[in-house]
Amino acid sequence: MTGKALLRIDNISKNFGGLKAVADFTLDVMEGSITSLIGPNGAGKTTVFNLVTGIYSPDTGQVVFDGKNITGIQPHAVVEAGIARTFQTLRLFENLTCFENVVSGQHCRCRSGVIACLLNTKSRREEDARAFNFAEECMRLMGIWEFRDELAKNLSYGDRRRLEIARALASRPKLLILDEPAGGLNENESDELMDKIRQIRDSGITVFLIEHDMHVVMGISDVVAVMEYGRKIAEGTPEEVQRNPDVIEAYLGSEEDEELLATLKEGAMEEVTQEAAQEAGEAV
């Protein structure tokens, strides 16, 4: 981690009708870090991602990436600037092959226009070859090269998640934004995912993620930010956040996230399970 903020989210707000989805949210994502955004369901995490990646434009505030103001620019321009993302509910090109899916990331790194494509110029062919090679690299990194000619819709859920990350990596991002990458994965798969995310970070890409799986969040994050009702209520190292009374309060307030609360108060959780196990043992 260097001391420089790669992404500065500065005081952004977004309203939907009367609902304040995000309110005066500020966060710096440090270059070379793995930063996590957590919070109860409906806290506005995905909206923050959508505001950063240009799917929505903020009502107030600004987003600065790598020294450039990218507030309100179109999503494809955000990718070009160096931010790639995945979606909470996967958005793959289901009827295209996995390789085609990943090559899409390279689109914004290529320049051939209509004339070059019609004339099939040497520079166009070389550009495509480079794009294909890089796509191959990304697929090998995510361990899905063997599925290159399969249609995306035929892959298993875990492989589809990895395919989406490979597609995002193919655009050569400086910042990778992952929306619940471990969602729907089993424990083995999410451990593997953590390794991959670390590997991606070590290759020089900053990672910014939303995750509900506290095992993953606490395991890999350098910085954790916590949201509630569209506001940031805490920020710090995983240990700091786990001890923060506001965070515990926030999770106590929402019954939906009992599981999260339980993981936050890991010690207490263990006791409970032990008690339950004892009771079960006594019953037998």
Residues of this chain that bind another protein (CB under 8 A): 16-17, 46, 50, 53, 55, 74-77, 79-80, 84-85, 87, 91-97, 99-100, 103-105, 107-110, 112-114, 117-118, 120, 124-125, 127-129, 131-132, 148-149, 151, 167-168, 170-171
State the Cα–Cα distance between residues 139 and 263, nearest whole angstrom: 33
For 131, residues 6+ apart whose C-beta sits below 8 A from its C-beta are: 103, 106, 109, 110
User: How do strand 223-228 and strand 231-236 relate by DSSP bridges?
Assistant: antiparallel
For 80, residues 6+ apart whose C-beta sits below 8 A from its C-beta are: 108
State the Cα–Cα distance between residues 77 and 53, nearest whole angstrom: 9
In the complex with another protein, the residue whose CB is nearer, 65 or 251, is 65
To the nearest whole angstrom, how small is the minimum distance from the Cβ of residue 148 to another protein?
5
In the complex with another protein, the residue whose CB is nearer, 55 or 269, is 55
Greatest alpha-carbon pair distance for the chain in Å reads 80
In the complex with another protein, the residue whose CB is nearer, 76 or 243, is 76
**Coil/strand/helix, residue 244:** coil
To the nearest whole angstrom, how small is the minimum distance from the Cβ of residue 260 to another protein?
23
In the complex with another protein, the residue whose CB is nearer, 94 or 275, is 94
To the nearest whole angstrom, how small is the minimum distance from the Cβ of residue 101 to another protein?
9
In the complex with another protein, the residue whose CB is nearer, 28 or 161, is 161
To the nearest whole angstrom, how small is the minimum distance from the Cβ of residue 183 to another protein?
16
State the Cα–Cα distance between residues 169 and 152, nearest whole angstrom: 17
- Name the nearest CA neighbour of 207 among 8, 27, 32: 32
To the nearest whole angstrom, how small is the minimum distance from the Cβ of residue 8 to another protein?
21
In the complex with another protein, the residue whose CB is nearer, 77 or 268, is 77
To the nearest whole angstrom, how small is the minimum distance from the Cβ of residue 194 to another protein?
24
State the Cα–Cα distance between residues 266 and 272, nearest whole angstrom: 10
